[in-house]
Amino acid sequence: MTKKLTGAQIFMECLKREGVKHIFGYPGGVVLDIYDELTRQPDLHHILVRHEQAAAMAADGYARASSKVGVALVTSGPGATNTVTGIASAYMDSIPIVVFTGQVPTALIGNDAFQEVDIVGITRPCTKHNYLVKDINQLAYTIHEAFHIARSGRPGPVLVDLPKDVIQASTVPRFPDEIKIKSYNPTYHANPRQVKRALDLIMTAQKPVLYTGGGIILSNAAAELAEFARALQIPVTSTLMGLGGFPGDDPLWMGMLGMHGTYCANMAVANSDVLIAVGARFDDRVTGKLAEFAPHAKIIHIDIDPSSISKNVVVDIPIVGDCRDALIQLNELLSDKPHKDMTTVWGQWLDTIKDWQQKHPLTYTWSDTTIKPQYVVEKLWELTRGEAYITTEVGQNQMWAAQFYKFKRPRQLMTSGGLGAMGYGLPAAMGVQVAKPDAIVIDIAGDGSIQMNIQELITVVENQLPVKIAILNNSFLGMVRQWQQLFYEKRYSATPLRAPDFVKLAEAYGALGLLATRPEEVEPVIQEALNTPRPVIMDFRVEPEECVMPMVPAGKATTEMLLA
C-alpha cells in the first residue's frame, strides 16, 4: 500500500484484517476521528452501549460465545477507567478481548490534561499485555500484535491506548503478515514423555477422577475429553468455568465441585487416588482448605500456562501444553495400547460414586405457594431443551444456574467466574446475542446484580436483540444474606433490597415485562418469553431466604459440606 492513511483509517483497516465484524463502544472527544471513520465502514457494526463497563463485558460475552476476539472502543479518562472491571473479569477468566482506549495527545500526557488517566498503568495488573501507541508508524503492528497476544497461549485481555494526535496523523502504513515476539512463545505441544508418564499413572489407579476447567473450553478440547473419559470410564467433575466442557447428562458426569459443588464431586475428589486436572487452576473456591484437598491423590496437571502449575497445589506430573493436544496424545496412546474394560477394574469406585449421587443429589424443598429459584432454573432448562446460551449475574443466581441447568456443550455458559463481577450478565448476554443472532440467550439474574447494568436494556431494545432476562427476585442481596443467615445470626446488615417494578421498567425501556408470584405461573411466563421475538424481563418473586446448598464454609475442607 502506497497511499497515505490517517491513524483512524489504519485502525479500521487493521480491524478488518483481524476479521472483526462487531465493536462495542461509547464515543468521546479524543476518539471522534475513529467514530467519524466508522461512518464509512459498512462492514463494521458498532453497538452503542450505555456504559463503558458494558462495552468490555459485552466484548467478553461475544468472545466466549464465538471463540473470536471481542473488541471494545472507548474514550479517554472515565471512559477508559469504566472498562477496568470488565477487563479484570476477562483477565481472571482468560477471555480474549482487545480494548481500545482514547488518550490525550502525546504532548499532553503527564500534564493532568482534561480526561487524562494513565490507563496503561492502571490496567497493567489485569491485562495480559497493554500498549501506549506514540508513533503512527507503529500503530498497525501494535494492533496486529495485540490480537495475537489476546488469542494465543492462555488467552486474555489486551489494552491499546491511542493518543488523539496518533489517530489524526497520516502515514503510508505497513501491515504485518506475521508476528514474532522473542519473549513470548507459548508451548502448545505437550511433552510426549510426560503424557506417557501420566497415562501410566492413570492405569495404576483405583479411584481416578477427571477435574476439568475453562481450559477445556478455551482449547476446544471437549470432544477429546469425552473420548478419553468414556474410553477409561473415568468420572468427571469441573469448575464453574468448565461447565459445558463435558455433557451434563452423561452418566460419568458428577456435577460441579467446590464451595457449591455436588456432594458426589467433592467426595470423589477427596477420596481419589489419581486426580487428572485439565485446564484448571486449583482456585480457592474449588480446593477449600488446601491441606485437605485430595489428600490421598497423585495429581496430574495439564495446562498451557506454566505459572499455574504447582502454584496452589503441588502436583506430581506437570504437563505444560494445550489441553487438546495433550488429550489427543492420551487418546492415541490408548488406541495403540489394548486395555481392559475399566468398568470392571474400577467397578467398586463407580458404584461408590453412584451411591453418593443417589443419597445426596442436588435437591430443594418444594413449596405449593412460594416459587423456589431452583425450580425456575429447572424450568428454563426443560423449556429450552437445554439448548439456550446462559449468562449469569453473580451471587445465588449464578450458583443455581450452575447447579440446575445441565449444560450440554462448550461455550453455552457465560459467567464472571474468577472476579465475580455483578452486572456482568446483561451486557454479556448482549454480546452473546450479537455473536449468535438466532440462538435463545437468557441472563439468569438477581434483583441486586441486574441493577448494576440495567441501562443496557435500551441497548438490546435498540439493536433488536431478543435477550431474555430471568430475575430471581428475593428482595435481598442473596449470597451475602445467606452468609449473614448462616454465620452472623441473621443480622441482615445492608442486604435487604428494594427493587423497582421490573415489569414497568421493562415497558419503559421498550421491552416486555412479565411477573410470576406463584409456582404455577412460572411455566406460562417462560413460555411467553420464549415465544416473544424481542427483549423480555421475567420477574420471578422467589423464596426470600432460600440458600444455595451444598455449601463449604470458608476455611473448611470440601468434605465439610453444609447440605441443608
pLDDT digits (tens, 9 = 90+) for 174-211: 999 888 898 999 999 999 999 999 999 999 999 999 99
Closest among 133, 125, 66 to 100, alpha carbons compared: 133
**Lowest-pLDDT choice from 42-51, 271-280, 307-316, 341-350:** 341-350
Neighbours of 226 (CB within 10 A): 18
Amino acid at 371: I
% of the chain surpassing 90 pLDDT: 96
Is the pLDDT at 387 greater than 70, yes or no? Answer: yes
Residue 110: the pLDDT is 94
| Mean pLDDT value across residues 472-497 | 97
For residue range 10-45, what is the model confidence (pLDDT) as tens digits? 999 999 999 999 999 999 999 999 999 999 999 999
Is the pLDDT at 342 greater than 90, yes or no? Answer: no
Confidence at 382, pLDDT banded by 50, 70, 90 = very high
Q: From the candidates 21, 41, 115, 556, give the one annotated as an active-site residue.
A: 115
**How is residue 391 annotated by DSSP?**
E
Do the beta carbons of residue 195 and residue 327 sit within 8 Å? Answer: no
| Mean pLDDT value across residues 123-131 | 98
Is the pLDDT at 338 greater than 80, yes or no? Answer: no
Is the pLDDT at 214 greater than 70, yes or no? Answer: yes
Residue 167: the pLDDT is 98
Question: For the chain, which domains are there?
Answer: 5-171 (3.40.50.970), 192-359 (3.40.50.1220), 373-541 (3.40.50.970)
Q: Is 479 an active-site residue?
A: yes
47-59 as b/e, with b when 16 or more CB fall inside 10 Å? bebbbbbbbbbbb
Q: Is 164 an active-site residue?
A: yes
| Mean pLDDT value across residues 231-235 | 96
Residue 345: the pLDDT is 86
Confidence at 471, pLDDT banded by 50, 70, 90 = very high
Computed over its alpha carbons, how large is the radius of gyration of the chain? 24
| Mean pLDDT value across residues 144-172 | 98
Is the pLDDT at 1 greater than 70, yes or no? Answer: no
Question: Among all chains, which residue has been given the C-alpha cell 467514530?
Answer: 35
Mean pLDDT, the chain, integer: 97
Closest among 208, 154, 215, 201 to 330, alpha carbons compared: 201
Q: From the candidates 1, 16, 114, 387, give the one annotated as an active-site residue.
A: 114
Q: From the candidates 267, 479, 549, 561, give the one annotated as an active-site residue.
A: 479
Distance CA(282)–CA(86), nearest Å, equals 23
Q: Is 52 an active-site residue?
A: yes
What are the Cα distances from residue 413, in Å, to 64, 361, 474?
9, 22, 23
| Mean pLDDT value across residues 124-151 | 98
Residue 180: the pLDDT is 86
Please, which residues have CB within 8 angstroms of residue 528's CB and are 6 or more apart in sequence?
Answer: 514, 536
**Lowest-pLDDT choice from 230-234, 281-285, 333-337:** 333-337
Residue 446: the pLDDT is 98
Residue 343: the pLDDT is 81
Q: From the candidates 128, 164, 207, 298, give the one annotated as an active-site residue.
A: 164
Distance CA(245)–CA(62), nearest Å, equals 18
For residue range 70-87, what is the model confidence (pLDDT) as tens digits? 999 999 999 999 999 999
